[in-house]
């Protein structure tokens, strides 16, 4: 019968997306303007995007056909409140119809409240640097919980909050393109506050989720595995220090703030009411390892080269290292830090030809399975992404979908890739079997059942 990695009974399988990346016409937002300023690498703009706004029911039907039981999606604040204080009843009705369609099709819902995109009016008032911004965000959250609270089983208050604070306020890559250490700390502190307040509000107001259970709330955090390259002498010491600083500045500091209830340096040093312990689950987004190699010419990256690949490591179309053991390490660290249930809220690969995705998927699921065996309480896995979408600054050229969609096709036809079938088969078995690996990615056998990647 061959080898078999069985997942726990009741393990939740699904796919993940974000509103701006699939819906289309998020025109009252800061990202929309940014795109039209020519800031996207491949010159595209999100435009009608994948037209999920109109095709949602078709997409949900396809999820049923493929046997995907859960779906992570977002609501866009800029659609719900396109002008300051003006809530758009039609947009709210559309979100209700989308969530109802999922419910009617028995697809379990994970809803994200903030996935990086802001209403233009809010950005114009200083965005997250405005002292009143948390109050304004909470009005939106309050409305969503009142209007749509009956649908989600899981709430993601914030998606990868460190990306907008780091890329938007320190690196200057994303809107609003600021480069200020002070603002990065301030904005992160404010997002911690937003999370704590949204978490409380969901628990105060949201009715029981479908099935009568208490809805769960948490954050989807970007956890790349950051490692020093291992150079000799002083460069090696610099790499070790940099790895600590990068890890702290990207997620460790954030996590320590949540555990202690107090914003840690450099995010301020104040008590944040209701922050402590404000996770019902840890949302893990894992994609890659980052190796830090000393290089004095990289002055804007603390003299660290992050692009060179270690020997024997493949890179994805994003230029990211494929490093499955990093997933196991991150899961164990997260488990040991929080001792809370874990959901993988994102994991996936840009691979337009779908050559590497089958083995990427299998290798990462094996590491997830390994973390479960090592004692981590992991409840579910949402693959990024259900379909191809607008990949932020990269535009449409980076394709993460299990389902292919050509953004230039007038009909925007959905075409499941082979990986979509592989994912269906894994879900149907609730296991990875040797037969499946042989059929879809025989080159992955050693990385699934053997010693490869067991570091």
Which residues of this chain interact with ligand FCB, rule CB under 6 A?
Answer: 18, 21, 159-160, 222, 285, 346, 384, 391-392, 400
Q: How far is the CB of 304 from ligand FCB (least distance, A)?
A: 20
Under DSSP, is residue 128 helix (H, G, I), strand (E, B) or coil? helix
- Residue 160 or residue 333: which is nearer to ligand FCB going by CB? 160
316 token code pair:
């994805």
Q: Which is nearer to ligand FCB, 70 or 92 (CB)?
A: 70
Site of tokens 């259900």:
386
C-alpha to C-alpha distance for 406 and 50, rounded to whole angstroms = 9
CA distances, 135 to each of 153, 427, 447 (Å): 25, 41, 48
Q: Residue 158 has which token pair? A: 């914030």
CB–CB of 57/2 below 8 Å? Answer: no
* Residue number, 294 or 381, with CB nearest to ligand FCB: 381
The CB-of-1 to ligand FCB minimum distance in angstroms stands at: 36
CB 236, min distance to ligand FCB, A: 29
Residues with Cβ within 8 Å of residue 127, at least 6 apart in sequence: 30, 118, 133, 168, 176, 187
| Residue 73 or 238 with smaller CB distance to ligand FCB | 73
Give whichever of 16 and 145 is closer to ligand FCB, judged by the CB atom: 16
Closest CA to 391 of 346, 422, 360, 423: 346
Cβ atoms of residues 20 and 26 within 8 Å: yes
* Shortest distance in whole angstroms from residue 109 CB to ligand FCB: 18
CB of 239 to ligand FCB, least distance (A): 24
Tell me if 390 sits within 8 A of 44, measured CB to CB. Answer: yes
Locate 381 and state its tokens.
């896995």
Q: Give the C-alpha separation, 11 to 378, whole Å.
A: 8
Give 18 or 426: the residue with its C-beta nearer to ligand FCB: 18
Query: Nearest approach, Cβ of 31 to ligand FCB (angstroms)?
Result: 12
Q: Cβ of residue 88: shortest distance to ligand FCB, in angstroms? A: 23
Helices (H), 67-180: 77-80, 89-104, 120-124, 133-148, 162-169
Q: Is 227 helix (H, G, I), strand (E, B) or coil?
A: strand
CB of residue 242 vs ligand FCB: minimum separation in angstroms?
21
**Closest approach of ligand FCB to the CB of residue 221, in Å:** 10
Check if the beta carbon of residue 146 is closer than 8 Å to that of residue 204.
no
Closer residue to ligand FCB, CB minimum distance, 263 or 349? 349
* Listed residue (64, 97, 93) closest to 80, CA to CA: 93
Decide whether 16 or 217 has the Cβ nearer to ligand FCB. 16
Q: Report the nearest approach of ligand FCB to the CB of residue 391 (Å).
A: 5
Q: What is the DSSP letter of 375?
A: T
CB-wise, 239 or 346, nearer to ligand FCB? Answer: 346
Looking at the Cβ atoms of 166 and 368, the one nearer to ligand FCB is 166
To the nearest whole angstrom, how small is the minimum distance from the Cβ of residue 24 to ligand FCB? 16
What is the enclosing helix (H) or strand (E) of 333?
Answer: helix 324-338
Give the SS3 label for residue 388: coil
Write out the H or E segment, with its range, that includes residue 325: helix 324-338
Between helix 418-429 and helix 52-66 the angle, nearest 10°, is: 50
Give the chain's largest Cα–Cα span: 63
Output 102 or 350, the one with its CB closest to ligand FCB: 350
């Amino acid at each position: 019968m061959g080898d078999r990695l069985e997942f726990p009974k009741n393990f939740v399988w699904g796919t993940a997306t974000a509103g701006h990346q699939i819906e289309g016409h998020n025109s009252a937002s800061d990202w929309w303007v940014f795109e039209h300023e020519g800031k996207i690498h491949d010159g595209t703009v999100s435009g009608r995007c994948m037209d999920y706004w109109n095709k949602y029911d078709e997409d949900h039907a396809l999820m049923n056909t493929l046997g995907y039981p859960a779906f992570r999606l977002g609501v866009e604040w800029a659609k719900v409140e396109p002008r300051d204080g003006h809530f758009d009843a039609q947009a709210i009705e559309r979100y209700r119809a989308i969530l109802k369609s999922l419910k009617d099709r028995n697809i379990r819902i994970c809803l994200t409240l903030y996935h990086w995109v802001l209403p233009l009016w809010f950005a114009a008032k200083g965005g997250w640097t405005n002292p009143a911004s948390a109050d304004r965000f909470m009005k939106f959250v309050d409305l969503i919980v009142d209007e749509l609270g009956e649908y989600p089983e899981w709430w993601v208050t914030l998606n990868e909050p460190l990306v907008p604070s780091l890329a938007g306020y320190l690196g200057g890559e994303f809107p609003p393109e600021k480069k200020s250490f002070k603002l990065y700390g301030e904005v992160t502190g404010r997002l911690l506050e937003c999370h704590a307040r949204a978490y409380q509000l969901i628990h105060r107001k949201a009715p029981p989720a479908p099935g009568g259970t208490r809805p769960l709330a948490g954050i989807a955090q970007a956890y790349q595995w950051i490692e020093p390259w291992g150079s000799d002498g002083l460069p090696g010491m610099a790499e070790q220090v940099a790895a600590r600083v990068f890890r702290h500045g990207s997620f460790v500091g954030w996590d320590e703030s949540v555990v202690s209830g107090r914003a840690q340096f450099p995010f301020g040093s104040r008590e944040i009411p209701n922050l402590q312990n404000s996770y019902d689950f840890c949302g893990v987004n894992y994609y890659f390892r980052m190796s830090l190699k000393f290089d004095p010419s990289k002055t804007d990256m603390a003299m660290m080269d992050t692009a060179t690949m270690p020997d024997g490591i493949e890179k994805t179309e994003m230029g990211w290292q494929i490093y499955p053991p990093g997933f196991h390490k991150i899961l164990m660290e997260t488990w040991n830090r929080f001792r809370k249930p874990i959901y993988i809220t994102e994991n996936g690969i840009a691979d337009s030809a779908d050559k590497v995705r089958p083995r990427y998927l299998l290798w990462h699921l094996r590491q997830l399975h390994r973390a479960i065996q090592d004692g981590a309480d992991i409840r579910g896995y949402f693959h990024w992404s259900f379909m191809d979408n607008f990949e932020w600054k990269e535009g449409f050229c980076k394709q993460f979908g299990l389902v292919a969609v050509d953004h230039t096709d007038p009909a925007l036809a959905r075409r499941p890739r082979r990986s979509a079938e592989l994912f269906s088969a894994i879900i149907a078995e609730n296991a990875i079997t040797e037969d499946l690996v042989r059929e879809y990615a025989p080159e992955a056998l050693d990385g699934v059942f053997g010693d490869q990647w067991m570091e």
